[in-house]
Structure 1
């Protein structure tokens, strides 16, 4: 449970006994009698109807329907049904003010149906299986986990007066009217998320004039406008509702929903004008009445000198050329995926952390260790090169989030993994730059993503790349499949996917089934999953995975997390620079193996995986190192000590015994270049329709780590 930092005037609580627990049901286009709530408390519709200050939104909800279908229910009927809905209802004064702003009149009848639909859809969150939000559960800095009916995530911050502000502009006036099917909160301004895309929103901010101009001169503003894959949307072969699974289950059946949309988006890290002035000495921009910079002739050569020094190999003089320093500088500021501030990292089962009462809504107070992940940027050159960005949250203070933070840890075999020191930010490098959660009065929640002001100049220069290339790069597969994030599936629900849904998963054969699973959505279990989620491939699978870029040229060991299981299959793995030309690496990987060691006799049940638990070695560091080396000769490593199983029984490193061992599989060692793209191919080695293949996290490990002068740490 999150600490409630508000001292809001609570809504008058309805004096009814608690009714029966509602069934979990999402919005459907038709409401029948069996769906109406049996209750002692009122429904949300009854709460709204009984409040005279909500008569306008009441009328709008009665008119607006859940979809364009003639059979679709009104939203008023939807909010009478069982479910878990959070409603931020605008007061009559709020609706009148919004109406006057867009029509010039307070006469609400002047609103078009589309305008009323925007008001209605924007204020309702269908929480699905999760509980509706009371104010104590509002995010303090970030977004709600579930989208509103417009498929937009609403943000929430707490202002200096301890008032919750929804989506940057809508203060919560009265909170926590409880209904049988959710919570009603009154807001004093209509919630209307911006229709501008990320580039447009950056350009409209009064403190981002320089970066907005850079978007314009590089032409990147045009490539950042995409919001939805219309080819997917209009695919006549897309199954209407269901996908049949051969091995994966949702509850008691094997039917899975297929996404109806494929939203695309971006997240930007942006220097304010004052940061450019402070760090690089750039002249502050002057603007005319239209917000255009009038002294760009003075500013441009100053910026040009700085970016050319950072990217000396970017030699084109045309800013629109991907091989120009201007273009490369701006492109490194954008990653793919619509990333709310509280979704950059996913807290679940990192060392000593407890997610609380609900793994799908992990607590946000008692953090324990640094948590991080890696993302790749949009293309930074005509050769398709991309940049790598590390995003890290610290457990102390206000739990700040940093870009490219490089730290030393108490990482011995008996260590705590507490941060000992970190490389500070210095002007001229892109290391250890703090992200700000919002941009003050400027909206940062765009129609296709978010932007965040940063406190330093973000560069992918040689110093930054060497720093990133000096440490083990462990990334969750979810962060290189940005569609999962843009469509709000990560850590929310089980989901199946059509072929071609992910840019980074390609060449799927007809027999390949693709699923995303998250612990807690379908019950808890003894999961050995990094961050509590995974991809599961099944059937006669055969597909290609595009890897993120390495930051510097060198020799890297490529590893994958391996939660083995008798239900898995056997896989042949290939590696190469082209998705159409990969070569097998190593012997087929059998994911069905178990491991057991008899301490009394010193014998293994499976000599292919000679795992001995640290405890059975009496925590003798020399013996532990020796067994780790022995495992490596067989192509395995113990799982990292950094994360625990989802039941908190012990570190994943300690769980290599039995029929469900947690290990790392060493795939290959390869020379890799920073400006090239690399691929892994995974192909079932068994002619079985019910074979499972588990993918969770990967590691790209430079030679100075896996073969350095000191042994690699166990974390």
Structure 2
């Protein structure tokens, strides 16, 4: 059912100068919660109260925790309501008989675990993490299973954190939605390696994790040195539903920028079950050590006796399975239905992301092909023109494991259907391809903060995430730089929806992910307004490139970000205005001589036609350099002309081997 609600809106606007840049500031006065809405139906609270025989124990926890008032009035909430029977089972497992025997802190944990400040309907969800955290700032997971009901028919079972089934779903109330669950949701409070140690399916990998002491690298959780910016001291006073934010404009869009309250360290592990090792003749840890020596040292590992050495073959094997950010199944790549079904040309590309792993100087490619599965280091059919298809290693979906919750306090792990390797063969075959690196994967902090992948549900949900200088791994920037990761936009013409905005009198340096092989690479930068915007807030930038601790070298002359593709300095001509393939190729060559390329044709974004058909969507060629797989490389973007309101939108970096951009077979346009 649907219920109406009337919102009030009171907005005052001010202008302030922050960090050398002008930002538009807005204030929304806080009022008593009861004045926010006029209700015409049940709230979360009254829904539970009207069924007190089912939820009296959970109601007790909500009241003890102090969140009951919110459930009666304002906001948008998802409530996973455990029944009294579920609470009884939970209490019995704790060895107590009554909910009144719980401490106030325990009631607070139960209440806030089961509440999210956003509305989620089952029909809109995919296997993986919920889009927003619960009130404890933890991401619950969602999965589906099948079962035979009492009538002998198959039915879909919806689960929260694997073990709690939703027995009645999508009960709409005026301030959100209620899902009834048959078991209290109890997320693990153990660190990732401790949670993995409890899993009986992965004993061989766990033994290797302990022997290499890589488990010690997975126990960080919160940065004690991080302090969220003091908004009041920055003259920032925009408030909405308890949040404080900078309010600014990018082009024609106005957004609300917030900073994370905490800085988290989180992790993801990809793990072979014992059954996979055994199927490959590996029955114990010692046999895995011997195989790792074959895979990574050709049978002669001079560091064999010290598995903790990062050059040790087993250490390489284990650490390649680890990422320094938490990725649920639906966060491994872009997975929002709206984007993948409306904007992506599935027959042309796999949706994919590239991640640096915890093995020094290594990179992992995670693909999401049209089949719907997720793969590591797959080289799919769209790239088959450059060589045979390589399947890669398939990642189990949450629906394939229904008896164990694989999430931990500081991360989660996924099971694999084959042994995952980063050998010379994998690097030269599977990964010898164009690397299209999304900007929002370039730092673990973009992901662990929840900034990357946020999907704007409504026009009012325009929260971007800012990052403090010194607390953003792989990125360095000046005091006058403001760095913001935008929500994933369903209509803007950013490839796959991700975007970062760099603001102010900016000077920012990004460490690039490692390349898989030594060789010559072409580095490009794409953004739908990077080199094609009439907006006056774009500026002129100098871009630099460097290797390791060397000196930055300029990549040609400064780039004017306001140039449209139709400008003679760019030379873009629509394919439809050219007579056949020969003229299209000639135009592409002329653009390359000027340092530009047309955009990819595999994505549409807003408006009609794909990005290649738009003159304001361009790829800028930054440099062609020889790069080594065991070295670090950096890109620096510096504003040349001082303008405190300047903006540099940033979407994608492409790192392309010479065998692709100058190979016998022309590079595809996807």
Q: TM-score, normalised by structure 2?
A: 0.86
C-alpha change, 1:22 and 1:188, in structure 2 (3 Å) is farther
Kept in 1, the 8 Å contact 2:475–2:508? The answer is yes
Verify: 1:118 aligned to 2:133, yes or no.
no
What is the aligned partner in structure 2 of residue 600 from structure 1?
none
Q: How far has the Cα of 1:466 moved from its partner?
A: 0.6
Query: What pairs up with 1:147-186 in 2 under 5 angstroms?
Result: 147-161=133-147, 162-186=156-180
Q: How far has the Cα of 1:496 moved from its partner?
A: 2.2
Comparing 108-117 with 471-480, greater Cα deviation is found at 108-117
Q: Secondary structure at the match of 1:544?
A: strand
1:306-350 Cα shifts (integer Å, max 9, x gaps) = 101111185312011111111110000011221111111114699
What is the aligned partner in structure 2 of residue 478 from structure 1?
440
Kept in 1, the 8 Å contact 2:437–2:654? The answer is yes
Q: How far has the Cα of 1:163 moved from its partner?
A: 1.3
C-alpha change, 1:541 and 1:589, in structure 2 (3 Å) is same
Q: How far has the Cα of 1:436 moved from its partner?
A: 3.6
Aligned mates of 2:42, 2:355 — CA distance in 1: 48
Verify: 1:301 aligned to 2:286, yes or no.
yes
What is the aligned partner in structure 2 of residue 10 from structure 1?
none
Q: Secondary structure at the match of 1:485?
A: helix
Gaps in structure 1 of 5+ consecutive residues: 1-12, 65-73, 284-298, 356-361, 413-418, 425-430, 597-605
Aligned mates of 1:83, 1:117 — CA distance in 2: 19
Q: Secondary structure at the match of 1:628?
A: helix
Aligned mates of 1:350, 1:36 — CA distance in 2: 31
Question: How many equivalent residue pairs?
Answer: 619
1:667-693 Cα shifts (integer Å, max 9, x gaps) = 101111111111111110111111111
C-alpha change, 1:175 and 1:35, in structure 2 (3 Å) is same
Verify: 1:388 aligned to 2:376, yes or no.
no
What is the aligned partner in structure 2 of residue 667 from structure 1?
622
What is the aligned partner in structure 2 of residue 277 from structure 1?
278
Q: How far has the Cα of 1:237 moved from its partner?
A: 10
Verify: 1:422 aligned to 2:382, yes or no.
no
Verify: 1:645 aligned to 2:646, yes or no.
no
1:376-407 Cα shifts (integer Å, max 9, x gaps) = 34442xxxx331111111213xx111111112
What is the aligned partner in structure 1 of residue 666 from structure 2?
711
Q: Secondary structure at the match of 2:486?
A: strand
Q: Secondary structure at the match of 1:681?
A: strand
What is the aligned partner in structure 1 of residue 225 from structure 2?
231
Q: How far has the Cα of 1:469 moved from its partner?
A: 4.0
Aligned mates of 1:696, 1:77 — CA distance in 2: 42
What is the aligned partner in structure 2 of residue 530 from structure 1?
495
Aligned mates of 1:142, 1:234 — CA distance in 2: 28
Aligned mates of 1:109, 1:203 — CA distance in 2: 34
Verify: 1:18 aligned to 2:3, yes or no.
yes
C-alpha change, 1:137 and 1:628, in structure 2 (3 Å) is same
**Selected match of 1:108 from 81, 99, 103:** 99
Verify: 1:678 aligned to 2:633, yes or no.
yes
C-alpha change, 1:473 and 1:450, in structure 2 (3 Å) is same
Q: Secondary structure at the match of 1:269?
A: strand
What is the aligned partner in structure 1 of residue 186 from structure 2?
192
Aligned mates of 1:642, 1:498 — CA distance in 2: 35
Kept in 2, the 8 Å contact 1:561–1:695? The answer is yes
Verify: 1:43 aligned to 2:43, yes or no.
yes
C-alpha change, 1:553 and 1:228, in structure 2 (3 Å) is same
Query: What pairs up with 1:129-528 in 2 under 5 angstroms?
Result: 132-139=119-126, 141-161=127-147, 162-233=156-227, 244=246, 248=250, 256-279=257-280, 281-283=281-283, 299-312=284-297, 315-316=302-303, 317-347=305-335, 353-354=341-342, 370-380=349-359, 385-396=360-371, 399-409=372-382, 422-424=389-391, 431-437=392-398, 439-492=401-454, 493-506=463-476, 508-518=477-487, 520=489, 527-528=492-493
Verify: 1:90 aligned to 2:82, yes or no.
yes
Comparing 339-348 with 629-638, greater Cα deviation is found at 339-348
1:236-292 Cα shifts (integer Å, max 9, x gaps) = 89968756567548976x76322111122111110000000002x022xxxxxxxxx
Q: Secondary structure at the match of 1:484?
A: helix
**Selected match of 1:565 from 533, 543, 565:** 533
C-alpha change, 1:669 and 1:268, in structure 2 (3 Å) is same
Q: Secondary structure at the match of 2:655?
A: strand
Q: Secondary structure at the match of 1:518?
A: coil
Aligned mates of 2:56, 2:248 — CA distance in 1: 50
Aligned mates of 2:341, 2:195 — CA distance in 1: 36
Q: TM-score, normalised by structure 1?
A: 0.81
Q: Secondary structure at the match of 1:409?
A: helix
Q: How far has the Cα of 1:482 moved from its partner?
A: 2.3
Q: Secondary structure at the match of 2:375?
A: strand
Q: How far has the Cα of 1:644 moved from its partner?
A: 1.3
C-alpha RMSD of matched pairs (Å) = 2.9
Q: How far has the Cα of 1:509 moved from its partner?
A: 1.0
Q: How far has the Cα of 1:143 moved from its partner?
A: 1.9
Q: Secondary structure at the match of 1:184?
A: strand
Aligned mates of 2:252, 2:182 — CA distance in 1: 41
Verify: 1:690 aligned to 2:645, yes or no.
yes
